[in-house]
């Protein structure tokens, strides 16, 4: 994301600073400033994508998660897993999650229907087992 050794050194200095708000603000401005990210100048597609991410709330969500990670007293062993958990806790369900939830509902209904059918078939089987094979009455 950052270009050049000087930028990386600046980020390291900021990361060790006590003022995390400044660090996050700086990180956000660097991430959103496409002119700094490109040598050739602004790219309309990249700018359009940046606006899309801002409008969808992705930038704010990621910033919030990174601030949360920064504020942790004990840093998690797996930072990526922490980010995944935090983003999952946002409450926004993806289309895949919604499809899986609908599939669970459908499968539960099918299971209930099959359980009822199974009960009926067991009752029929018990009736046929109680009738003697020769068709006569039992002694």
What average pLDDT does the structure give for the chain? 77
Q: Confirm whether pTM is higher than 0.85.
A: no
Same structural domain, 75 and 123? no
C-alpha distances in Å from residue 88, one per residue of 67, 92, 107, 128: 16, 8, 24, 54
What is the residue range of 103's domain? 93-139
CA dist 81 and 76 (Å) reads 9
Both 65 and 22 in one domain: the answer is yes
Give the pLDDT band of residue 89 (cuts 50, 70, 90). Answer: low
Please name the residue ranges forming H helices in 38-94: 44-56, 58-71, 79-88
Residues 74 and 110 reside in one and the same domain: no
Q: CB under 8 Å to 44, separation ≥6 — which residues?
A: none
CA-CA distances (angstroms) from residue 63 to 34, 59, 75, 83, 106? 17, 6, 17, 11, 37
Whether residues 40 and 77 share a domain: the answer is yes
Same domain? For 45 and 87 the reply is yes
Instruction: Please write the tens of the pLDDT for every residue from 48-66.
Output: 998 999 999 889 889 988 9
What is the pLDDT, as a whole number, of residue 96? 76
Q: Which residues contact 33 (CB under 8 A, 6 or more apart)?
A: none
Q: What is the pLDDT of residues 91-127, one digit of tens each?
A: 556 677 788 899 999 999 999 999 999 999 999 999 9
Could you tell me if 86 and 97 lie in one domain? no
Q: Are residues 87 and 99 in the same domain?
A: no
Task: Report which of residues 25 and 67 the model is more confident about.
Answer: 67
Token readout for 111 is: 């299971």
Percent of the chain with pLDDT over 70: 60
């Amino acid at each position: 994301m950052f270009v050049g050794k000087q930028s990386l050194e600046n980020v390291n200095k900021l990361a060790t600073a006590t003022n995390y708000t400044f660090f996050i603000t700086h990180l956000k401005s660097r991430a959103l400033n496409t002119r700094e990210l490109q040598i050739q100048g602004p790219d309309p597609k990249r700018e359009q994508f940046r606006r899309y991410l801002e409008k969808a709330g992705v930038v704010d969500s990621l910033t919030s998660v990174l601030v949360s990670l920064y504020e942790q007293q004990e840093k998690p062993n797996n930072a990526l897993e922490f980010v995944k958990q935090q983003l999952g806790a946002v409450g926004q369900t993806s289309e895949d999650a919604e499809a899986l939830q609908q599939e669970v509902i459908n499968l539960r209904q099918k299971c209930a229907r099959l359980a009822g059918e199974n009960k009926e078939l067991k009752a029929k089987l018990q009736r046929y087992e109680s009738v003697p094979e020769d068709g006569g009455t039992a002694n």
